[in-house]
A and B are shown apart, each in its own frame.
Chain A
Amino acid sequence: MAGFALAACSTDSPSVLSPEGESARRIDRLWWLMLWISLAVLAVVLGLMVAAILRRGRRDVEVDRTTPPWGDPFIVIAGVAVPALILIAVFVVSLRDLDAITEQGDAALTIDVVGHVWWWEVRYPGGAVTANEIHIPTGETVRFRLTSDDVIHSFWVPELAPKVDMIDGRTNVLDVRTDVPGTYRGQCAEFCGLQHANMAFHVIAESRDEFDAWLQNAAEPAESNTETASGLDVFLSSSCVGCHTIRGTDATGTLGPDLTHMASRLTLAAGTIPNSREDLARWIEDPQSIKPGNVMPPTELSEADLVALLDYLETLD
């Protein structure tokens, strides 16, 4: 059982046992309650097993045809009554938690998240659109409206909240509140096909001021810049433009993520690789070797065009 204690201390993991959100804290408490009860039950069972083993006999022992007088009362008490009482208690506690997690009053902010194979589209009120990265303010209840554009995905940030499925034709709601600034890893939890394993995202919780500044910037169109105009031309004249939007330019594709502020994001390809210049170049030239089966085709560019494109994309912050 020391393993569980150790596990809880592992800070790198997106762990259910290192809760930083209100809902996750409740779940964590519920887990420890149930774990201690379970360990007690396991101890009783193992104790009785050991007792039976200690008084073992040999194969030729005469069969005992008597009925122990304590047999039936023991089964009724240990096997029916006590479990029933414990289970009713846990049921009541869990219902209260369910209620608290579901009903969190008015939300300060509503964010729409749409699941795609295999990335996350994130839409804010006021027109900001981003992908695979969700900024939220701390100390406020944030309401996520979750749906899917294709197969079923599931929205799971273990440190903040329970998971909720994203289903085409339905909109599910998840309220999240955390008081602790930080970056929390999330990942799709419902099998969604070939690249289900590479469909992660990050939630960045920051103070209201920092969040407002971020949101204001995120809602702006991309800045035009004469130094990188040739890179934009490469973008607009290659296959990129068919699928991606860069607000403030002629690129209005909707199959892939909005790239208006892509340089500010932590990762590429939904958490698959870091957002560095080298990785971005690899991703543009040969996305299929990095995330086989994803929708993005390889793009063949001359060395000069690639440099210009990368220079331009790096300004989109």
Chain B
Amino acid sequence: MASYAERLELVWHEGTGLSAWAGTVDHKRIGLRYLYTGFVFFVLAGLEATLMRVQLAAPTLEVLSPQTYNELFSMHGVTMMFLVATPILSGFGNYFVPLMIGARDMAFPRLNAFGYWVFLAAGVFLNSAFLVGQAPDDGWFNYLPLASEQFTPTLAIDFYALGLIFIGISTTAGAINFIVTILKLRAPGMTLNRIPIFVWGELAFALTVVFALPVLTVANVFLELERKFGFHFYDADGGGDPVLWQHLFWFFGHPEVYLIVLPALGLVSSIIPTFSRRPMVGYTYIVLAELFIFVISFGVWVHHMFAVGLPTIALGIISAASFMVVIPSGTQIFAWLATMVSGRLVLSTAMHFVLGFLVLFVIGGLSGAMFSAVPFDQATTDSYFVVAHFHYVLAGGAMFPMFAGLYYWGPKMLGHLLDERLGKISFWLMFLGFNVTFFPMHIVGLLGQPRRTYTYASGLGWDLHNLLSTIGVFVLGAGILVTFWNWFWSRAHGEPAGEDPWSGDTLEWTTTSPPPEYNFTTIPTVRSREPAWDQPELQGGAQPPEDGGRPLTDGHTTLATTLADAEPQAIVHMPHASPWPLFLTLALMLAFYGVLLSSWMVAAVGAVASAGTLMGWLWPRGETQET
């Protein structure tokens, strides 16, 4: 066996130094980069939120100017949606999907690297708007005609539109990679009904991206054509319609919400069986529910537009579809509860975060169901009640699972256990702070406070609720910092994790922590939905060949299998590290800045450079294309 590992080490080691750093295609390094970069943006967006809460601590404060406030709430939303939630959950996916399905990397390793670089570049592009004092200021929803040249003549909206087109390239590349990886690179024997639920969640996420994101890109291309060249897509005086923007935006925007929650729910589904000490009850129901959410998410966009003045019949249909979405979410919740009640719960830190998530997600889901009732939605939309609702669903529904993921998978990624006591302190601070911040927003919204307002008058009964929210945000922030401290402290000083600190059920727990560059010494043959529980011979990530393990030491390769039954089909040669994805990203960035500034020479240079680097990337090199 050792000789397999030695030979694989020779083939898979990327080396050190700048070229390995800039060229890495290792899904684990890329996954960690997504996580670290995502959390940097998370801190940024959190600071933006904290500043807003300080301004709103009491009525008629003048801590921030109205312009600054509007920029902060716009960038907070854009950052949290596009630069935090999606990338962090993609980061977990990047790191763990290949490990959970027994592959040696993602299907398109260079595309994977490219996705990360574009994410980073688009994040820098969007936030560079602050440096020139022209940050997007019309909200993440960016409604027309407010966002038109006439009402927002600065570059703010161009930063927004081009930034989102740019990041869309990253998300789409990542999604396609997930789909192909999950459908084609599963270990032999991992039939469709043995795929871990987290992997199903990433698949549902990726499918949603592929269908939803083009609509956002089209909406923003229209917007730039209108702003830069005088087209009239959204301009009522020119025969366009500002409501078209809303349709396009929310046709993307509502699935966007689900594509954030889907992998987070998957994450929860992979933690619950481990800490309930039993397989998931109702696996099939959960998987079907996730796929149903993916489909139905495209039928509910108009519930963001119930106050626009659309025909009653349209409101009725979308209302029915919105009520329907509640069912698959409920199905998953009761499947989790059945698993926990029939198992023996282990209250680790990760499980604390999962239980906290469950409470917050149920509250957010219940208030969300209320919005399906058209008259109630019309009364409370654009009030703080909505702000409360979607923070329960998105921050409660995605942030808490992310933190659960840090505690559950942190030992696998770092090779060290995180401190459980600090973790529980962090959880309780976050849970308490979260509820003190966001629960009063339900009430103040019902009391008539509209959202997106930089100040409010006194004497309207809103003061106490706003003050509570401001206090809560500091408690929440303290809880988050405790986990960050825990992470970096444990990375240096934590106890060694071993292969399987939680005695988990999926394949990632059968290899070392952190896993070697080739993930598994032999690509395993899977005979169970919970292989790590049922197949003791998988230990060490080196299933012996007589049990079905495939070393594949001849070249830089992994195994492709059939779509449904995961029968071995082909040996896939994987590319080595390459700087071309980074070069292409830099060329694209130049093109985007050129378009932003309407300096078409720069844009043309960027476009030509992009074509050139793409050729460099694809230039034929040897028979296997491994280099």
Which residues of A does B touch, CB under 8 Å? 3-4, 7, 10, 12-17, 23-24, 26-27, 30-31, 34, 38, 41-42, 45-46, 48-49, 51-53, 55-59, 61-68, 70-72, 74-76, 78-80, 83-84, 87-88, 90-91, 93-95, 97-99, 101-102, 117, 150-152, 154, 156, 158-159, 162-165, 167-170, 172-173, 185, 187-198, 200, 271, 292-293
Contact = CB atoms under 8 A, between A and B. Distances in A.
Nearest to B378: A162
Interface centre among B278, B307, B383 (most CB of A within 10 A): B307
Interface centre among B278, B320, B370, B448 (most CB of A within 10 A): B448
Contacts of A193: 70, 138, 146, 151
A91 B338 contact: no
Contacts of B341: 48, 51-52, 55
Interface string B513-538: 00000000000000000000110000
Interface string B472-514: 0000000000000000000000000000001101000000000
Interface stretch (B17-25, B120-128, B173-181, B327-335): B327-335
Nearest to B324: A87
B307 A14 contact: no
A292 B62 CA distance: 12
B448 A79 contact: no
A71 B282 contact: yes
Contacts of B345: 52-53, 55-57
B344 A61 contact: yes
Interface stretch (B309-317, B590-598, B616-624): B309-317
A65 to B, nearest CB: 7
Nearest to B236: A169
B359 interface: yes
A211 B501 CA distance: 76
Contact of A168 (B242, B327, B362): B242
A5 B581 CA distance: 58
B447 A192 contact: no
B337 A49 contact: yes
Chain B interface size range: 35 or more
Contact of B448 (A72, A151, A185): A185
B382 interface: yes
Given A15-B448, A158-B379, A98 B374 contact: yes
Contacts of A10: 447, 461
A74 B334 CA distance: 8
B330 to A, nearest CB: 4
Contact of B146 (A13, A80, A84, A192): A192
A65 B450 CA distance: 52
A21 to B, nearest CB: 11
Interface in B343-400: 343-348, 355, 358-359, 362-363, 366-367, 369-370, 372-376, 378-383
A229 B363 CA distance: 63
Interface in B422-463: 439-440, 443, 446-448, 450-457, 459-462
Given A79-B285, A194-B70, A87 B369 contact: yes
Contacts of A187: 448, 450
A72 to B, nearest CB: 6
A92 to B, nearest CB: 10
B373 A38 contact: no
A87 B178 CA distance: 34
A12 B562 CA distance: 66
Contact of A12 (B146, B369, B378, B460): B460
Contacts of A55: 341, 344-345
9 contacts: A13-B461, A24-B379, A55-B345, A59-B503, A79-B327, A95-B316, A165-B308, A173-B309, A196-B452
B65 interface: yes
Contacts of B448: 13-16, 156, 158-159, 185, 187
Contacts of A16: 379-380, 383, 446-448
A42 B331 contact: no
A14 B447 contact: yes
Given A48-B341, A197-B454, A163 B381 contact: yes
B139 interface: yes
Interface of B: 65-67, 70, 138-139, 143, 145-146, 151, 236-237, 241-243, 276-279, 281-282, 285, 307-309, 312, 315-316, 319-320, 323-324, 326-327, 330-335, 337-338, 340-348, 355, 358-359, 362-363, 366-367, 369-370, 372-376, 378-383, 439-440, 443, 446-448, 450-457, 459-462, 502-503, 505, 533-534
Contacts of A52: 276, 337, 340-341, 343, 345
Main secondary structure on A side of the interface with B: mixed
B278 A80 contact: no
Contacts of B355: 49, 53
B194 to A, nearest CB: 15
Contacts of A292: 65-66
B83 to A, nearest CB: 21
A49 B375 contact: no
Contacts of A150: 145, 151
B203 to A, nearest CB: 21
A61 B378 contact: no
Nearest to B335: A75
A10 B459 CA distance: 11
A79 B236 CA distance: 46
A34 B460 contact: no
Contact of B279 (A3, A65, A158): A65
A27 B447 contact: no
A63 B66 contact: no
Nearest to B382: A189
A13 to B, nearest CB: 4
Contacts of B534: 65
